Amino acid sequence: MIYKPDGSEHVVMGINGQFPGPTIRAEVGDTLDIALTNKLHTEGTVIHWHGIRQLGTPWADGTAAISQCAINPGETFHYRFIVDKPGTYFYHGHYGMQRAAGLYGSLIVDLPKGQSESFHYDGEFNLLLSDFYHTSSHEQEVGLSSKPMRWIGEPQTILINGRGQFNCSLAAKFSNTTLPQCQLKGGEEWAPQILHVEPNKTYRIRIASTTSLASLNLAISNHKLIVVEADGNYVQPFAVDDIDIYSGESYSVLIKTDQDPKKNYWLSIGVRGRKPNTPQGLTILNYKTISASIFPSSPPPITPLWNDFEHSKTFTKKIIAKMGTPQPPKNFNRRILLLNTQNSFNGFTKWSINNVSLTLPTTPYLGSIKFKLNNSFDTNPPPEKFPSDYDIFKPPVNPNTNIGNGVYMFQLGEVIDVILQNANQLSGVGSEIHPWHLHGHDFWVLGYGEGKFKQGDEKKFNLTHAPLRNTAVIFPYGWTALRFRADNPGVWAFHCHIEPHLHMGMGVVFAEGVHKVKNIPTQALSCGITGKMFFKPGHY
Ligand code: C2O
């Protein structure tokens, strides 16, 4: 649809005529039946329910070429799954770069009626953060897969609930930018959603990031943020002035409206981790005692410097599990080391894991593995480690990578350790941030370390209050250690949540207990080799 998310007109992917898509709100234990009708005329689509583990319904995970076939134009697919855990989630397209095209929305799971959270709040807000590009996702996709690669660059605008301002600023009179003051009447589709609050109350702000590229930082002038939830898991509450949020993550923070009620305050969102070229996203926290149109009396909070990684690490390390959260098994059955590198393949720029860049097969894995089709993907196991003499502080000595689509197959119930190892980029000096997201599970984050993971580093693992999450970042030149139990039959993507990185191969595929998967709708298998096998409707 044609829309003006930031005041300038573009094509975005909407749902039911809305951008972002409608917020889905459910209660723990509910079964959602979501009918997705593909009204795009020229391409398939799927929707992934980010953070929902899909216990028993791996075919509803919404990952093209992994859990299902893309839904053809005109067709309808029913996602039917149970939401088993309260929290702040979202959904998004998981085919090509449709997330970058704007195919996303919020998914919130409340506690069952009659139950209340362990923290009190009087009201809540929901902020879905994204970054917006003026080039179409198709143009971005073609550029990334061209020789030489054309990088997408930095986003034009940060959107809060699909709203942002391009070429003007809400806070022009404070900043030393040359941007003019935005002229808004209030009804525009790019007008900010104001957070109206009453004094001396507590509010819960749900925040999720579905950015294509940007790592973000959120702050509210004069107000502390008390973090209580991360990725649908409770954390030991802690107070900070600002939070970092990477693509694929979600948080709930509490704020107390205990500041001067005769003033309004800024909520600002800035870019971190990469040299920014995108203005802050802004909205206003309005104390209802005064008009929302009165300007805050001071400038918006300044985003910490993009390369102040210590600030990011300090924040990340404050996140520990709420007391009483199940803790990781003391031992693991299998440990996989995954080296993240930027490489080239016949002159194309790629991202690789242990020197394999993921290229998805045409037949979704769930069907190929379930029906033991040996020729639909590479059945050789992908590498579980990388050469021990690899120098992560230098560009790769041999920049060439392989492409592949092998699967890490786990025994059902095995305890898996994953060590994500960051490294230097393809050329020059530098190492990027990558937020890794796992489908089908939460994992415990055992720790973050500097440099190359080595024998003895596991002594520093946090096995007593490790936070459960579904997304965890690797810092430049560092490693991140995760542990999870492979106890959810299905095939699960594990990948960098930065859309162009995934598109350039930065992901792996895990599978466990697929023989136990039942009731895959035929429609999910109606392409590739499985499509030729099944032509009668029904369940297999
Ligand atoms: Cu939100 Cu596979 O991603």
Number of domains in the chain: 2
> Residue 295: inside a domain, yes or no?
yes
Question: What are the tens digits of pLDDT across the range 338-370?
Answer: 999 999 999 999 999 999 999 999 999 999 999
Question: What are the tens digits of pLDDT across the range 246-293?
Answer: 999 999 999 999 999 999 999 999 999 999 899 999 999 999 999 999
**Domain span including residue 384:** 334-533
- Residue 485 maps to which CATH number? 2.60.40.420
Atom of ligand 1 nearest to the CA of 51: 1
Q: State ipTM.
A: 0.99
Residue nearest to atom 1 of ligand 1 (CA): 50
369 and 411 in a common domain:
yes
Residue 416 pLDDT: 98
133 and 35 in a common domain:
yes
CB of 406 closer than 8 Å to CB of 379: yes
- Quick check: helix, strand or coil at residue 225? strand
Q: What DSSP designation does 397 have? A: S
Distance CA 166, CA 179 (A): 9
> Residue 324: inside a domain, yes or no?
no
> Residue 81: inside a domain, yes or no?
yes
Atom of ligand 1 nearest to the CA of 90: 1
Atom of ligand 1 nearest to the CA of 247: 1
CA of 287 to the centre of ligand 1 (A): 36
All residue ranges of the chain with pLDDT < 70 are 176, 535-540
CA of 439 to the centre of ligand 1 (A): 7
350 and 277 in a common domain:
no
The H or E element containing residue 137 is helix 137-144
Closest CA to 167 of 395, 291, 7: 7
The dihedrals phi and psi of 158, each to the nearest 5 degrees, come to: -90, 130
CA of 331 to the centre of ligand 1 (A): 28
Last residue of a domain, one of 249, 284, 318: 318
297 and 170 in a common domain:
yes
What tokens does 323 get?
């007391």
CA of 250 to the centre of ligand 1 (A): 13
300 and 357 in a common domain:
no
CA of 437 to the centre of ligand 1 (A): 6
Q: Residue 41, exposed/middle/buried by CB under 10 A (0-12, 13-18, 19+)?
A: exposed
CA of 298 to the centre of ligand 1 (A): 38
357 and 487 in a common domain:
yes
> Residue 538: inside a domain, yes or no?
no
> Residue 212: inside a domain, yes or no?
yes
Which amino acid type is present at position 481? A
Last residue of a domain, one of 286, 318, 350: 318
> Residue 382: inside a domain, yes or no?
yes
410 and 308 in a common domain:
no
Residue 536 pLDDT: 58
Question: What are the tens digits of pLDDT across the range 170-194?
Answer: 999 997 678 999 999 989 999 999 9
> Residue 444: inside a domain, yes or no?
yes
Distance CA 442, CA 440 (A): 7
247 and 196 in a common domain:
yes
Rg (CA), the chain: 23
Residue whose token pair is 């020229």 = 42
Residue 538 pLDDT: 58
Residue 374 pLDDT: 82
Which amino acid type is present at position 412? L
Q: Ligand 1: which residues within 6 Å by Cβ? A: 48, 50, 92, 94, 248, 437, 439, 493, 495, 497
392 and 273 in a common domain:
no
Is the peptide bond preceding residue 326 cis, with omega within 30 degrees of 0? no
195 and 85 in a common domain:
yes
Residue 186 pLDDT: 81
> Residue 414: inside a domain, yes or no?
yes
270 and 124 in a common domain:
yes
Residue 537 pLDDT: 57
Atom of ligand 1 nearest to the CA of 210: 1
125 and 238 in a common domain:
yes
Q: Please give the distance of CA 458 from its chain centroid, rounded to a whole number.
A: 27
